Amino acid sequence: MLQVYPQGKCSRGEIHDKLVFRLDFRRKTSSIATSRNRRFLSTGSDIPTGPNGSAKTDKVEEAETVHVSPQPTEKLLVLGGNGFVGSHVCKEALNRGLTVASLSRSGRPSIQESWANSVMWHQGNLLSTDSWKDVLKGVTSIISCVGGFGSNSEMYKINGTANINAVRAASEEGVKRFVYISAADFGVVNYLLQGYYEGKRAAETELLTRYPYGGVILRPGFIHGTRRVGSMKLPLSVIGSPLEAVLQHAKSLTQVPLVGPLFIPPVNVNAVAKVAVRAATEPVFPPGIVEVYGILRYSQQR
Ligand SMILES: NC(=O)c1ccc[n+]([C@@H]2O[C@H](COP(=O)([O-])OP(=O)(O)OC[C@H]3O[C@@H](n4cnc5c(N)ncnc54)[C@H](OP(=O)(O)O)[C@@H]3O)[C@@H](O)[C@H]2O)c1
């Protein structure tokens, strides 16, 4: 027989007083985990049973809260894991104990840092034939950091078509969760970068259609941090950090007609990576669109 007690420290007497309910399980049960919400109720060891299979003892240790590492079977695929945002996403996911793979046209980057040895690097073009689809086998969640600039038609393809291809293939393969790094709405700038924004919104629509429950779209504005350009490191936070500090408290300015979107606060690349990995791995993370202020808020939790 398994007894389930309320959480917290109680004396033995209190435990009995606060007994919530009894579950009359007549099978050997060592623990109940309330899946992914980090709460475990433990009986400590297998419950001895008598010859007829009934439990001999009701001995139960106190319920306790424990931190549960992600299931070892969880495998995250980062599309564009060798890019600026993608490499930070890979690092964050490895720190959280996930198995991490990356797919991009150039494959393994020249990064000499030790974390790069823990990523499975695959080479493939989301705009080309189906060869890259093998990489989806066994993947439980995807974060797409694929995007870029160029002519209008190039921008539509890389931000839109490439990600639409990925979303379709992932849902056909049964991948549970898909996170897409999109971009904030910059108002008039959208007209200057038409292909970029039209591509982003087309990919978002596909994601929301295919993944109504497991799809998350992050819409950062400018992302700052240390960006590699060849062998150089660009410290974008020199400008980004102070701007973020000021603008995150000036939300009302973003409502000003025409120029308002220019006041959207920049966000640190580590914050984007953290929220993306949370969104890809926590089943309780709400699906849908997360705007800049949401990214800032989620990144400050835990
Ligand atoms: N950086 C910002 O300030 C900012 C702001 C808002 C939103 N975003 C969005 O965040 C995402 C990541 O940005 P980022 O700055 O990290 O860009 P990035 O450094 O240029 O990374 C883009 C990644 O996409 C991969 N890629 C491009 N085309 C591909 C294709 N056809 N198939 C497979 N992989 C492909 C690239 O690798 P290969 O070249 O090896 O293929 C690279 O790893 C983008 O969607 C971007 O629009 C960025």
For the stretch 87-122, pLDDT in tens is 999 999 999 999 999 999 999 998 889 999 999 999
The per-residue pLDDT for 188 is 77
Distance CA 145, CA 83 (A): 8
Q: Is 90 exceeded by the pLDDT of residue 169?
A: yes
Confidence of residue 64 (pLDDT cuts 50, 70, 90): low
Residues 4 and 101 in one domain: no
Domain end, chosen from 24, 51, 68, is at 68
Nearest protein CA to atom 21 of ligand 1, as residue:
83
Residues 150 and 190 in one domain: yes
Centre of ligand 1 from the C-alpha of residue 80, in Å:
6
Length reported for the chain: 302
Domain end, chosen from 19, 38, 68, is at 68
Distance CA 139, CA 280 (A): 11
Ligand 1 pocket member 160 (CB < 6 A): no
State the average pLDDT over residues 207-226.
Answer: 96
Q: Per the structure, how many domains does the chain have?
A: 2
| Cα radius of gyration (the chain) | 24
Residue 101 CB-density burial (10 A; 0-12 exposed, 13-18 middle, 19+ buried) = buried
Provide the β-strand partners of residue 123.
104
Residues 118 and 174 in one domain: yes
Nearest protein CA to atom 34 of ligand 1, as residue:
104
Residues 60 and 7 in one domain: yes
State the average pLDDT over residues 126-155.
Answer: 94
Residues 94 and 190 in one domain: yes
Within 10 A of 216 (CB to CB), how many other CB atoms are there?
A: 26
Write out the residue range of the structural domain in which residue 8 sits: 1-68
The per-residue pLDDT for 116 is 97
Residues 61 and 81 in one domain: no
Lowest mean pLDDT among 136-145, 164-173, 250-259: 250-259
Which are the contacts of 123, defined by CB distance < 8 A and separation ≥ 6?
103, 104, 105, 106, 107
Listing DSSP states for 12-50 in one string gives HHHHHHT--EEE---S---EEE-TTSSEEEE-SSPPPB-
CATH number of the domain encompassing residue 219:
3.40.50.720
The per-residue pLDDT for 67 is 53
